[in-house]
Amino acid sequence: MSGTRSTLEEPRWAADDPVRPQITGARWYALWTRSHCEQLVHDQLAARGFSLFIPKIDVWSRRAGQRRLIQTPMFPGYLFLHHALDKHSDTEVRKARGLMAILGESWTCRAVVPDEDIEAIQRLLHSGLPARPHPYLREGQRVRITRGPMADVEGILVRSNSRKGLLVISVALLRRSVAVEVDCTMVTAA
């Protein structure tokens, strides 16, 4: 079973596709929600035309004595907005029920999530490799995957044995990380 999925409203376009829409000044922002309100906020803002991204992972859950696979947000309490924020759109986003805040000081100084972080998460989701939440790491060796479905993705390698390791992809702004098991022979120092 695939360990990851995503909710992304806008279609994936090739970088060189001439039909690809150009969103001038659009950047990635992190939205902090009330507990378990990520989808509620997503649905409201998507209905207003905003482009949103909720990376999700499959986890086992036990309810009523039965185990089943359910999808949960990769970063509980957060989702990502791709938009060129101005005062009007910032106000519209903040009207969403269940939203606590857009990370940053004020509408003129919002914290931006680097494109590389979002691209690494999207590559992880599209790789089909099982992923699981992992504690955020400040220290550790930064590595780059050299081949396979995660080629050129950078993260922090945490060795679990001589051949397999965990690649931790972190979003510093959220202070959250996700880990995927990788073959240690396919990594090089970044």
Q: What is the pLDDT of residues 73-124, one digit of tens each?
A: 999 999 999 999 999 999 999 999 999 999 998 888 999 999 999 999 999 9
Do 162 and 136 share a structural domain? yes
Question: What pLDDT, on a 0 to 100 scale, did the predictor assign at position 137?
Answer: 52
Q: What is the CATH number of the domain that holds 121?
A: 2.30.30
Domain end position, chosen among 49, 82, 113: 113
Domain end position, chosen among 90, 113, 136: 113
Of 24, 59, 66, 48, which is closest to residue 133 (Cα–Cα)? 59
Do 121 and 109 share a structural domain? no
Question: What pLDDT, on a 0 to 100 scale, did the predictor assign at position 100?
Answer: 97
Of 29, 28, 75, 79, which is closest to residue 54 (Cα–Cα)? 79
pLDDT tens for 1-24 read 445 554 444 444 344 433 334 456
Do 126 and 89 share a structural domain? no
Q: What is the CATH number of the domain that holds 57?
A: 3.30.70.940
Do 78 and 19 share a structural domain? yes
38 CA to centre of own chain = 13
Question: What pLDDT, on a 0 to 100 scale, did the predictor assign at position 142?
Answer: 84
Do 157 and 84 share a structural domain? no
CA-to-CA separations, 44 to 1, 15, 48, 72, 132, in angstroms, rounded: 30, 29, 7, 19, 27
Do 17 and 92 share a structural domain? yes
| SS3 per residue for the chain | CCCEEEEECCCCCCCCCCCCCCCCCCEEEEEEECCCCHHHHHHHHHHCCCEEEEEEEEEEEEECCEEEEEEEECCCCEEEEEECCCHHHHHHHHCCCCEEEECECCCCCECEECHHHHHHHHHHHHHCCCEEEECCCCCCEEEEECCCCCCCCEEEEEECCCCEEEEEEEECCCCEEEEEEEEHHHEEEC
Question: What pLDDT, on a 0 to 100 scale, did the predictor assign at position 10?
Answer: 42
Do 83 and 16 share a structural domain? yes
Question: What pLDDT, on a 0 to 100 scale, did the predictor assign at position 104?
Answer: 93
**Residue 53 in contact with residue 73, Cβ under 8 Å?**
no
Q: How many domains does the chain have?
A: 2
Of 74, 73, 96, which is closest to residue 83 (Cα–Cα)? 96
How many whole angstroms separate alpha carbon 57 and alpha carbon 73? 6
Q: Name the pTM for this structure.
A: 0.71
Of 45, 64, 54, 30, which is closest to residue 174 (Cα–Cα)? 30
Do 86 and 37 share a structural domain? yes
pLDDT tens for 128-163 read 888 888 767 555 678 888 888 889 998 988 876 667
Do 76 and 38 share a structural domain? yes
Do 138 and 99 share a structural domain? no
Do 172 and 139 share a structural domain? yes
Range of the domain at 36: 4-113
